[in-house]
């Protein structure tokens, strides 16, 4: 059986803070399975246990990532990736719609996550696809602090006083290493790229009650304390260029690499030397992708995984934007 670029059926998740933009803006069809509008997350490509995405079309329809990796190994994910991760897929791709603010949270490092949960850590990045007027994110601290000061403010429900707030617009990008306190504010629709992990420590949740349960959500105060990076940083936003019809470096970390691509004519992409699968997330407009004289169309809100054994791609669009992700 020959590999081909793979689309997956997303997994949708109710969230207390979710809205309906996954449906109204990204054209996600979840009505038949979900009755509420508070759908906060669309997991586009996932190998997380009990939330695995399945191939949506072609000969491999219905296959999970783990099944595909077991069958195709390095042909699918790249030899170096397979050597490092085996049958586990290393990344999780999401769209997130925050109608109201998310909890303030932090993710543990690889070491802590392994020790406590037998999991990867959760280094991640955000690309803002849409932001309502005055929408904001919380990223890191706005002043020098320490565990004692942080705990005092947390106990008084005033921890937001020392958190860095960023007003955001479409295209803004933030890398969030493990240990960095963060939260998505109301009115933000974004793409999230992260390590395959579902470990989150919730620090503060505005004392709100989840209507689905009638209870406040669990906080992870003690677990979070030793996971937080209390350092103050000069800048939290990622600066990048937007040169049209080429690839632009966005976030290159130890855990994943992401480029920004804006096409208004044509772009040829040689991915021969990338010993990894490559994921393309359509964040605006639409894109025609030609590989081996076959054509695939991506529209805003669609994601595709290109196997490592495909070497050349040709993109064409009147005005399309992609995130390109690989290991």
Catalytic machinery residues? 202
140: left (phi over 0), alpha (psi -120 to 50) or beta: left
- Residue 150: phi and psi, rounded to 5, are -60, -45
Radius of gyration of the chain (CA): 20
Q: Is 247 exposed, middle or buried (0-12, 13-18, 19+ CB in 10 A)?
A: middle
Round to whole Å and give the CA distance between 31 and 17.
Answer: 18
DSSP symbols for 11-24: EEEEEEEEESHHHH
Round to whole Å and give the CA distance between 42 and 83.
Answer: 29
What distance, in Å, lies between the first and last C-alpha atoms of the chain?
25
3-state secondary structure 240-255: CCCCCCCEEEEEECCC
Query: Would you say 201 and 102 are in contact if contact means Cβ atoms under 8 Å apart?
Result: no
């Amino acid at each position: 059986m020959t590999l081909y670029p793979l689309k997956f059926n997303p997994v949708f998740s109710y969230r207390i803070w979710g809205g309906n933009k996954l449906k109204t803006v990204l054209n996600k069809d979840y009505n038949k399975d979900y009755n509420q509008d508070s759908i906060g997350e669309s997991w586009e490509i996932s190998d997380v246990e009990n939330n695995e995405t399945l191939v949506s079309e072609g000969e491999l329809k219905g296959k999970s990532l783990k099944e595909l990796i077991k069958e195709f190994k390095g042909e699918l994910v790249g030899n170096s990736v397979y050597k490092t991760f085996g049958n586990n897929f290393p990344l999780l791709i999401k769209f997130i719609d925050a109608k109201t603010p998310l909890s303030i949270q932090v993710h543990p490092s690889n070491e802590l996550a392994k020790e406590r949960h037998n999991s990867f850590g959760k280094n991640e990045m955000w690309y803002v696809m849409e932001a309502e007027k005055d929408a904001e994110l919380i990223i890191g601290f706005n002043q020098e602090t320490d565990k004692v000061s942080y705990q005092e403010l947390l106990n008084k429900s005033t921890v937001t006083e020392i958190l860095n707030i960023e007003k955001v617009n479409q295209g803004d990008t933030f890398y969030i290493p493990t240990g960095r306190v963060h939260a998505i504010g109301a009115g933000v629709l974004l793409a999230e790229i992260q390590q395959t992990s579902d470990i989150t420590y919730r620090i503060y949740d505005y004392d709100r009650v989840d209507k689905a349960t009638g209870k406040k959500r669990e906080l992870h105060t003690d677990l979070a304390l030793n996971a937080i990076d209390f350092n103050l940083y000069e800048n939290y936003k990622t600066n990048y260029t937007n040169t049209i019809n080429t690839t632009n470096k966005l976030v290159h970390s130890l855990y994943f690499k992401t480029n920004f691509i804006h096409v208004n004519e044509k772009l040829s992409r040689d991915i021969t030397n990338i010993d990894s699968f490559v994921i393309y997330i359509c964040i605006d407009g639409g894109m025609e992708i030609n590989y081996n004289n076959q054509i695939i169309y991506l529209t805003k809100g669609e994601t595709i995984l290109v196997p490592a054994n495909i070497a050349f791609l040709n993109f064409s669009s009147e005005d399309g934007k992609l995130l390109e992700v690989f290991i």
